Structure 1
Amino acid sequence: MESEEVSLPLIHEHPMTPLNDLRKGDCCGRLEAISDGYYCKRCDFFVHRECSESSEFIKHPSHYAHSLQLRNNSHNNYCNLCRKDITRLCYRCDICDFDVDLYCAKYPPPDVLDISETHHHKLTLWLRNRFDCDECGNFGYGLSYQCRECDLDFHVDCLWNQSEAKHPSEVNHTYHLLHPLKLHTGKRPNYSDGKCRLCERKIEDRLFYHCCACNFSLDMRCVLNPPAQFVLDLKVHAHQLIFRPRLDSFTCNACGLSGDRSPYICVHCDFMIHQECLALPRLININRHDHRVSRTSVLGVVNSVCGVCRQKVDWTWGGYSCLRCPGYVVHSKCATRKDVWNGKELEGIPEETEDIEPYVVIDENTIQHFSHKEHYLRFHVNGFLWEENKRCSACTHPICLQSFYGCVDCDFILHQSCAESPKKKWHVLHNDRLTLVTSVANYFCCAACHRMSNGFMYQCGSMKLDVLCGSISEPFVHPSHANHPLYYIPRVGKKKCKGCSKNRLAVLTCIESGCEFVLCFHCATLPQVVKHRVDDHPLSLCYGEKASGKYWCDICEKQTDPKRFFYTCKDHRASLHTKCVLGDFAGLMPRRTIKYGSTSYEVVLNKSISRPFCRGCESHCMYPIALKIPGTSDIYVCYLDCLGRVRRHL
């Protein structure tokens, strides 16, 4: 049974669950000799119980002038006392731009320190621009302890933590009985691999236990709370597992990845498993598949690829598979990534059976859409040749030549593809299921393509996607790369988009060997055909071409790059920038009003014979959609950057 959630509004914005886990606190950035705290699964945020009881305001000896207020972020991102980076929480004085992390707030270093056992003079707390620490050899800046007689400087942490005597200098540990382990408070030995022998985590400098004779290191977590010697969990394995604290190479049966130390083993079955894989969930949702996936000890699907990383899966090892979709498998580590799984174990929780269909079929040509229940919508096979006023209420783009549903009683229209968008869906960019919102009061910026829109959106909390980006699923096929499907591969670093040549983090990638085609969400959702006053004919999206010589955009009269996506006219003599053709407000539905800051704007079509004059850039608006302040005749804005300029002059 899950622990009851608690609310800690001063500490974190989400409800938190009590948790006993010896780990570094996101509150103070330190690993404490305690295991009691609170945890937020959504943010992977852990706070020590002692830190959670911090007062909202404190008086601190390092800053007598004003009280300090507890904040969940920092302006400077480092503590003004110890100069360590502040993780999440700090005490701050806005008047003086002064920050103190929680550790220094709880344990302020004394002005004078007496460490007569190691140094014969008293040390004074001193503010330095830069110094070399005579204890650990590393440089520092900010507060230091200084011996002026000997001209020595020390990090506050190097001496103050030692003077607290929080940890014994030697320990006898269950998993290293040959020799006692000695406390190290300085730099790790050069011969050490820098990892804890038991858990493989990177060891923090200046606080760990080590045996130099055996090159055996333990971090504080494993010293205070070592792994259990025996584990019996029938959901993991049928027999009892034994902990083996040795440096041995092995392949984990649960995830199929190699390890180099301290597995749990079954002597009967030659079964080996990483410590962290013991806690792999049994049944989960991942953000790129419509059904739940369940953990299995042997995948058993030959010649298959992982549904997340798209790499080949070794069917002889464990992983996750879908019971409804034969052949759909996922590596264990891929399925439980923080950017793939929402952290919720679903074993024992009934699966949702709610209706996500967006409409009810009335007859073969008529539907009733949930966003427009008052009237029926009639199906039309061919769209209009071109009519700016006939726009889809979901994506806000003109109907053009696409099939659509039109209301039999009013001017409400939906593209066929937009009308079929489900009321709820999973998406590769978010770990929880998104809900289709059909009534947007103002406007939003799509998290994938960053366009402004007031059409339909897929939303979950702060995640907002327009209906075009929200409808992208894997495999994604784009006309610019029709031979191979595209996939979203998380955490591959920034890649250069084929369409705009910009380095993007969230991209769709071709996984075929030797093919480096990459497309960002903005370019992937550009309309294939548009209309612009520069030409009487519709403009088609061209996917770049190899060409010599210079090309010029007929709209802005500036040079274009033919290797990027551009729009071209019927005779292919023009190469028009996609931004010049669409503008910044192409995602806004005309004849609606939006509020930007404290100012209201009407969304208007730029189709008059004389183009309106933009108050921001002081030029005639060349984009198809502009913003106009209601009640005025001449205050127009044509460009996103112009909005800021206009606001300053109103």
Structure 2
Amino acid sequence: MESEGVSLPLFHKHLMMPWNDLRKGDCCRLFESQSDGYYCKMCDFFVHKKCGDEIPEFIHHPSHPNHTLVQTRHEPDIPYVIICALCGMSILNLYYRCEMCRFNVDPHCVKYPPPDVIDNFKTHSHVLTLVNVRTEFECFAYKCEECDVVLPVDFVGYPTALDHPAEVNHSYHSLHPLKLLTGQLPDYSDGKCRLCGRKVDKELFYHCSSCNFTLDMRCVLNPPPQSLLDLKAHDHQLTLLPRLDSFTCNACGLKGDRSPYACFQCGFMIHQDCLSLPRVININRHDHRVSRTSVLGVVNSVCGVCRKKVDWTLGGFACKRCPDYVAHSKCATRNDVWNGKELQGVPEEEEDIEPYVVIDDNRIQHFSHKEHYLRRIHGNGIVYEENKRCNACTHPIGLQSFYSCMDCDFSLHQNCAECPKKKRHVLHNEQLTLVTNKELEVFWCNACHRISNGFMYKDGEKKLDLLCGSIPEPFVHPSHPQHPLYNIPIEEDKECNGCNNLEYCVLRCIEDDCGFVLGFKCITLPQVVNHIAYDHPLSLCDGEKETSGKYWCDICEGETSPEKWFYTCKDLWASLHTKCVLGDSLGLMPRSVVKLWGKSYEVVLNKSVTRPFCSKCKSRCMNPINLKLLGTSVTYFCSDYCVFSLNYQL
């Protein structure tokens, strides 16, 4: 069973796992002789155990003898670079600081302060003396008095370059000795370690120029075993082939270009990092556990994550309950898909996720309203039910079928009533729990960024309103019925086809040359709404791209873009901004009381012909929902933004 992890807040924001690996620490930049430490797989961040366990809060250091240095952490959102005064290198995490002198020193230089004199530096024949070249900020360097040359501490490379032999004989390269190099890799080198394939740290590495053979410090000091027997990876003994050769990994199905482990008995080949692939995991794309298998065996199948075809003769992850669900190994173990927990040996508990109990053909008992039964009422698709609101999503019942309480004013859309109590979602790696929010707590949805006090899917700080939390993958939207939409991760924001805004949380079409993208704010726009200014329901229009001429919104009297989605009543040729029709507070339950920035407000339906003035923007409130300051009769606000602006004087 997997360890729960170790918290090292001074170094890293995520929980870190105990890890046995000889590598350069992100704590002190050194290769330590011990091999244990703490590792965050999400960020590829490693801290030596000695550094993580033995960090004093205050120190006295010979480089700054007049004052005490205080332990400090460089926060990642700080927009400027902090430089170590001794070595001149940028500080990424923990360091020590003197606030009086603005003197900063990193843990590397705390543990190994540069010597006062170096007389054996191989690229300079004279004695080098440590001097303070910039007294205002105390920046140190080495100076040659004979040549009047000044060399930065990091260029000299003390102490790491002096602590390792100039040549080594290595078991994986017996033809020639490997020479210690610092600075620049040869032009003909690909810049990667021959054994592990990682990018070589130019500060310190070993190289054979005759064979173009390069090893990083980790593989020099602690090389991978030449042979191993790992029954989790393969049934037979595996042997490392330290050569540049193209191969296909049998575990993940991806190409490799160097040093695989191979089985000479059956021709099995595997990446070194695929040896540590987990056996049983949960992924956020599927409700069941998926297990690693050596042969997927599902012909003409596609990966459940990237939606690309998989080679059924190779390994991957498969669901034992759903015979057709498979995923590439690399896709299933991505940081945005898997939570990093190995579940082999952990019993799977059967969870009650059903949201209601059926009483008879027309009645149910929902877990959010156990005190009374709910009766099903069929929507006729004609009469728009505006007066009733769904207690789960807070939207009007509209034209849909719904469940209504027989004893009180409680209603649920049929679709909302069927939402499971627990589910997985593509925007979060952990299982989400449906919270009924009986206290009507105000929250902002992490997907569409709207304010709400309805039901939410929640895990820790992750909060999705019911509509966003219920979006499945694949998802078919009425504006793009020809192809389903998927959450395929992207490296940058994409322009939403509904509002033309840049969005990060999106679903997109994966068909070639389609490029259709929708953000969650547009995905969850209601298809049909009612508005006080119109006798008929308004329908969502997905734009008229080829129309010439100008469009005007009858509510705000501003121009509308035909390329953006709008609401329309075709009988009246109306084109209305979605924001003007819905407002900013559609997720708030009318007649409820919400607390915003320390004050309480009543959520009021704006049905009056004479609309109140907003106390912030001084215009008449156009939105269908307004906020009235509790205890007053005339203090109204258009939206939560106006409330926020007034409180913080934006």
Q: With structure 2 as the length reference, what TM-score do the two structures score?
A: 0.91
Residue range with higher mean Cα deviation, 608-617 or 264-273: 608-617
2:388 aligns to what SS in structure 1?
coil
- Give, as a single letter, the amino acid of the residue that structure 2 aligns with 1:569: C
Residue in structure 1 matched with residue 452 of structure 2 by the alignment: 453
1:157 aligns to what SS in structure 2?
helix
Residue range with higher mean Cα deviation, 372-381 or 629-638: 629-638
Deviation per CA, 1:608-637: give whole Å up to 9, x if none: 232222232222221112222212233332
Taking the TM superposition and a 5 Å limit, the aligned residue runs for 1:389-408 are: 389-408=387-406
Q: CA deviation at 1:482?
A: 1.0
- Conserved? CA contact 2:67–2:98, under 8 Å: no
Whole-angstrom CA distance in 2 between matches of 1:490 and 1:366: 42
Whole-angstrom CA distance in 1 between matches of 2:353 and 2:434: 10
Taking the TM superposition and a 5 Å limit, the aligned residue runs for 1:632-643 are: 632-643=632-643
Residue in structure 1 matched with residue 70 of structure 2 by the alignment: 68
- Give, as a single letter, the amino acid of the residue that structure 2 aligns with 1:55: P
Q: Are residues 446 and 631 of structure 1, via their aligned partners in 2, closer, same or farther at CA, if it must alter by over 3 Å?
A: same
Q: Are residues 242 and 634 of structure 1, via their aligned partners in 2, closer, same or farther at CA, if it must alter by over 3 Å?
A: same
Taking the TM superposition and a 5 Å limit, the aligned residue runs for 1:455-534 are: 455-491=454-490, 493-534=492-533
Q: CA deviation at 1:343?
A: 1.3
Residue in structure 2 matched with residue 132 of structure 1 by the alignment: none
- Conserved? CA contact 2:372–2:406, under 8 Å: yes
Whole-angstrom CA distance in 2 between matches of 1:390 and 1:522: 23
Whole-angstrom CA distance in 2 between matches of 1:317 and 1:338: 22
Whole-angstrom CA distance in 2 between matches of 1:97 and 1:420: 60
- Residue in structure 2 matching 1:122, options 125, 129, 136: 129
**2:86 is equivalent to residue 78 of structure 1:** no
Whole-angstrom CA distance in 1 between matches of 2:101 and 2:95: 14
Taking the TM superposition and a 5 Å limit, the aligned residue runs for 1:296-315 are: 296-315=293-312
Alpha-carbon RMSD across the aligned residues, in angstroms, is 2.9
- Conserved? CA contact 1:286–1:340, under 8 Å: yes
- Structure 1: gaps (5+ residues): 130-140
Residue in structure 2 matched with residue 288 of structure 1 by the alignment: 285
**2:352 is equivalent to residue 345 of structure 1:** no
Whole-angstrom CA distance in 2 between matches of 1:320 and 1:610: 61
Deviation per CA, 1:118-177: give whole Å up to 9, x if none: 244534233499xxxxxxxxxxx9765566875645343222534773333222211111
Q: Are residues 85 and 364 of structure 1, via their aligned partners in 2, closer, same or farther at CA, if it must alter by over 3 Å?
A: farther
- Residue in structure 2 matching 1:156, options 139, 153, 156: 153
- Give, as a single letter, the amino acid of the residue that structure 2 aligns with 1:71: R
- Residue in structure 2 matching 1:193, options 190, 194, 203: 190
- Structure 2: gaps (5+ residues): none
- Conserved? CA contact 1:78–1:84, under 8 Å: no
**2:548 is equivalent to residue 535 of structure 1:** no
- Give, as a single letter, the amino acid of the residue that structure 2 aligns with 1:399: I
Whole-angstrom CA distance in 1 between matches of 2:288 and 2:100: 53
- Conserved? CA contact 1:109–1:160, under 8 Å: no
Whole-angstrom CA distance in 2 between matches of 1:446 and 1:63: 52
Q: CA deviation at 1:59?
A: 5.1
1:161 aligns to what SS in structure 2?
coil
Q: CA deviation at 1:7?
A: 5.0
1:158 aligns to what SS in structure 2?
helix
Q: Are residues 558 and 356 of structure 1, via their aligned partners in 2, closer, same or farther at CA, if it must alter by over 3 Å?
A: same
Whole-angstrom CA distance in 1 between matches of 2:630 and 2:88: 52
Residue range with higher mean Cα deviation, 229-238 or 43-52: 43-52
Q: CA deviation at 1:519?
A: 1.1
Residue in structure 2 matched with residue 56 of structure 1 by the alignment: 57
Identity %: 64
- Give, as a single letter, the amino acid of the residue that structure 1 aligns with 2:75: N
Q: How many residues align?
A: 639
- Give, as a single letter, the amino acid of the residue that structure 1 aligns with 2:73: R
- Conserved? CA contact 2:243–2:259, under 8 Å: yes
Whole-angstrom CA distance in 2 between matches of 1:146 and 1:473: 65
- Conserved? CA contact 1:29–1:86, under 8 Å: no
Taking the TM superposition and a 5 Å limit, the aligned residue runs for 1:5-20 are: 5-6=5-6, 8=8, 11=11, 16-20=16-20
- Give, as a single letter, the amino acid of the residue that structure 2 aligns with 1:593: V
Q: Are residues 164 and 248 of structure 1, via their aligned partners in 2, closer, same or farther at CA, if it must alter by over 3 Å?
A: closer
Taking the TM superposition and a 5 Å limit, the aligned residue runs for 1:175-324 are: 175-324=172-321
Q: CA deviation at 1:406?
A: 1.1
Q: CA deviation at 1:361?
A: 0.9
Residue in structure 1 matched with residue 108 of structure 2 by the alignment: 103
Q: With structure 1 as the length reference, what TM-score do the two structures score?
A: 0.91
Q: CA deviation at 1:95?
A: 8.2
Whole-angstrom CA distance in 1 between matches of 2:387 and 2:27: 54
Residue in structure 1 matched with residue 594 of structure 2 by the alignment: 594
Whole-angstrom CA distance in 1 between matches of 2:470 and 2:120: 69
Q: CA deviation at 1:235?
A: 2.6
- Give, as a single letter, the amino acid of the residue that structure 2 aligns with 1:471: S
- Give, as a single letter, the amino acid of the residue that structure 1 aligns with 2:351: E
Whole-angstrom CA distance in 2 between matches of 1:243 and 1:143: 45
Whole-angstrom CA distance in 1 between matches of 2:404 and 2:199: 61
Q: CA deviation at 1:115?
A: 4.6
Residue in structure 1 matched with residue 543 of structure 2 by the alignment: 544
- Conserved? CA contact 2:117–2:128, under 8 Å: no
- Give, as a single letter, the amino acid of the residue that structure 1 aligns with 2:83: N
**2:439 is equivalent to residue 431 of structure 1:** no
- Conserved? CA contact 1:253–1:273, under 8 Å: yes
- Give, as a single letter, the amino acid of the residue that structure 1 aligns with 2:254: L
- Conserved? CA contact 1:127–1:144, under 8 Å: no
2:220 aligns to what SS in structure 1?
helix
**2:562 is equivalent to residue 562 of structure 1:** yes
2:266 aligns to what SS in structure 1?
coil
Whole-angstrom CA distance in 1 between matches of 2:33 and 2:613: 67
1:363 aligns to what SS in structure 2?
coil
- Conserved? CA contact 1:554–1:575, under 8 Å: yes
Q: CA deviation at 1:480?
A: 0.3
- Conserved? CA contact 1:10–1:56, under 8 Å: no
Deviation per CA, 1:571-598: give whole Å up to 9, x if none: 2612222122222211122222333333
Deviation per CA, 1:251-283: give whole Å up to 9, x if none: 111111111100111112111111111111122
Q: CA deviation at 1:72?
A: 6.5
- Give, as a single letter, the amino acid of the residue that structure 1 aligns with 2:155: C
Residue range with higher mean Cα deviation, 117-126 or 361-370: 117-126
- Conserved? CA contact 2:296–2:318, under 8 Å: yes
Q: Are residues 107 and 491 of structure 1, via their aligned partners in 2, closer, same or farther at CA, if it must alter by over 3 Å?
A: farther
